[in-house]
Amino acid sequence: MLISQALAQTAPAAAGGGGAESTLFSLLPLVLMFVVLYFIMIRPQMRRQKEHKAMIEAVAKGDEVVTAGGLLGRVSKLGETYLSIEIAGNVEVQVQRTAISQVLPKGTIK
């Protein structure tokens, strides 16, 4: 007798049709959190990647650059994936294009 009363008490809440609304409201914070993460983290990172790619493609012979490892030098040879950087008189190193972290203004390196 006790079990049938317990089932009778919970039956109207489950069959009331409020289940769809409660599911929607429970997913709403998750969706809002994803939207906020997209605008705060993902979108700016994608923008930075596009800017870095454009900078790497625009590197020309004679540009002064800084690598990700901290080397400063002048671009002496260009290749499709690699470029040579002169870091001192007659001292050249080959690095990948993606290792370029910054293009310096002309005349920075003396």
Note the pTM of the prediction, 2 decimals: 0.67
| Residue ranges per structural domain of the chain | 16-58, 60-104
Residues facing residue 70 across a β-bridge: none
Give the separation between CA 20 and CA 47, rounded to whole angstroms: 38
Give the separation between CA 83 and CA 62, rounded to whole angstroms: 11
What is the tally of helices (H) and strands (E) in the chain? 3, 5
Q: What is the pLDDT of residue 22?
A: 84
Tokens of 56: 């790497």
- CATH code, residues 60-104: 2.30.30
Q: What is the pLDDT of residue 18?
A: 60
**pLDDT tens, the chain, 110 aa long:** 556 665 555 555 555 556 778 888 889 999 999 999 999 999 999 999 999 999 999 999 999 999 999 999 999 999 999 999 999 999 999 999 999 999 999 988 87
Comparing C-alpha atoms, which of 76, 100, 101, 104 is closest to residue 90? 76
